[in-house]
Amino acid sequence: MIRLNAPASKSVSHRMLIAAALAEGESLVHHALSSADLERTRAILQTAGAEMEELGNGDWKVKGMPCGPKGGLADSPADCFVGESGTTCRLLTAVLAAGRGVFRIHGAERMHERPIGALTSALSALGADISFEGKPDFPPMSIHTRGLRGGHIDLRIDESSQYLSGLLLAAPFCSEALCVALTGSKAVSWPYVGLTLQTLEDFGIAFRVEQLCGGLWQDVPWKTLRSVKPGEVRITVQPGRYRAGEYRVEGDWSGASYLLAAGAVGQEPVLVSGLRADSLQGDRVILDLLRAMGASIEVREDGILVSPSPLHGIEADMGHCPDLVPTVAMTAAFAEGVTRIRNIAHLRIKECDRLSACAAELARIGVKTEETEDSLTIHGLGPAKPAVSEGTVFCTCNDHRMAMSCALFGLVPGNTAKVDDPAVVRKSFPGFWKEWEALL
């Protein structure tokens, strides 16, 4: 049995550090992830007025900015470089708009190709003045703000739930209660909204979640909502102060998915520690997906044990867990039969077009795939197992999740799984290759 450790949750780390930076007083945040994306979030929060001191081992002392983020002047805006972090860009665009002053938000080239119009339209309706330097509704952009009004706003989250999470984190600084009603054709990645609501609750912010039942709006316990339909849910957040305190970030199910999949397709059982089996993280569903494919899984007190098993194809709606798609797609190469992953059109605007990227890398090992606008079908090799030809180098497409999922192909005896940019994992799981060495 091989023992591995899950990294700290990237999603929870972002939210806890933002909340601590908005709190009145000093907070301690334990076990926060140290990665490229979190570096960008911390740097921007410090630019806006928060103080952060690294204590080691993922622990941070944070002195908040209770009056909200402070920007610059029109001719010298606060420089907010988000790098390649979509989470940083979307969450902090809303949070900064709730502050005072001028903020310029820009990033790496790929970030300037990722839309943000649904969020900026909502912020404009709440009082922020947003100007785009190039293509409308895409960074780079400048926010001129004197705070947000609050009131009622309709919001589409067809592309990303981070639009809603950003507004919810900003809402306590609005001049009046903010009610966000979900509209559009679908609501993707809803479990990530649950992580945001958990953060608000932990930091003492009052809110209510209502669901339309029989034509009437009724309060519902937010933790009971596993998915939502546009037009049937609204969330109201009251103005208030984030509460400083001591908080701990749990392990990351997204980053752990590659380690868990390794237990299913590799040569030895793998025990992954540091995960909460009762976590609100949507990517905890990796256990259900692997089980459905035939994996042997045991939830133990000391971790999650996954043992090698014959796998078979499945059909899965992964609209609420898009970060798991590369993991499942590459695992499907080891399965007997066909795997079809659907409701994933929003993956085309991630760090890369993840549907096309997965299809291209699977083709390198002879796996047949078919793409539609919102689905990917994989014809698994089953007992034949993926064979990597000597000299093959997998393309990461500058995407951390592509790099880590392609590593699975190196678990077949005689295979090596080289990627063109191993360092790209620094975005979310800097210690990935060190953990992975134990499997080889």
Catalytic entry in 252, 283, 323, 399:
323
Q: Do 262 and 144 belong together in one domain?
A: no
DSSP per residue over 405-416, as a string? HHGGGGGSTT--
Residue 162 CA to residue 228 CA, distance in Å, equals: 15
158: annotated active-site residue: no
Number of Cβ within 10 Å of residue 414's Cβ equals: 9
The pLDDT, as a whole number, for residue 347 is: 86
User: Residue 197: which CATH number?
Assistant: 3.65.10.10
Given 248, 278, 295, the domain boundary residue is: 248
Q: Do 210 and 354 belong together in one domain?
A: no
Q: Do 279 and 409 belong together in one domain?
A: yes
The pLDDT, as a whole number, for residue 383 is: 85
| Alpha helices for 4-80 (secondary structure H) | 10-22, 36-47
CB 332 within 8 A of CB 365: no
Q: Do 222 and 269 belong together in one domain?
A: no
Domain ranges, residue 347: 253-439
Q: Do 64 and 207 belong together in one domain?
A: yes
Instruction: Write 286-290 long-range contacts (CB < 8 A, 24+).
Output: 286/253, 286/256, 286/257, 286/260, 286/261, 286/321, 286/324, 286/327, 286/328, 287/260, 289/314, 289/316, 289/324, 289/328, 290/260, 290/261, 290/264, 290/331
Q: Do 127 and 266 belong together in one domain?
A: no
Give yes or no for a cis peptide into 239 (omega within 30° of 0): no
Q: ∠ CA 12-429-195 to the nearest 5 degrees?
A: 15
Q: Do 172 and 266 belong together in one domain?
A: no
Q: Do 277 and 243 belong together in one domain?
A: no
Q: Do 199 and 271 belong together in one domain?
A: no
Q: Read off the pTM.
A: 0.90
Q: Enumerate residue ranges in the chain where pLDDT < 70.
A: none
Are β-strands 78-81 and 101-106 bridged in parallel, bridged antiparallel, or unpaired?
parallel
CB 260 within 8 A of CB 272: yes
Q: ∠ CA 113-115-116 to the nearest 5 degrees?
A: 135
Q: Do 302 and 397 belong together in one domain?
A: yes
Q: Do 228 and 269 belong together in one domain?
A: no
* DSSP character at residue 336: B
Given 233, 248, 263, the domain boundary residue is: 248
Q: Do 57 and 97 belong together in one domain?
A: yes
The pLDDT, as a whole number, for residue 111 is: 95
The pLDDT, as a whole number, for residue 426 is: 95
Mean pLDDT of all residues belonging to the chain: 96
Q: How many domains does the chain have?
A: 2
Given 227, 248, 269, the domain boundary residue is: 248
Q: 217: which strand partners?
A: 212
Residue 295 CA to residue 216 CA, distance in Å, equals: 43
The pLDDT, as a whole number, for residue 227 is: 86
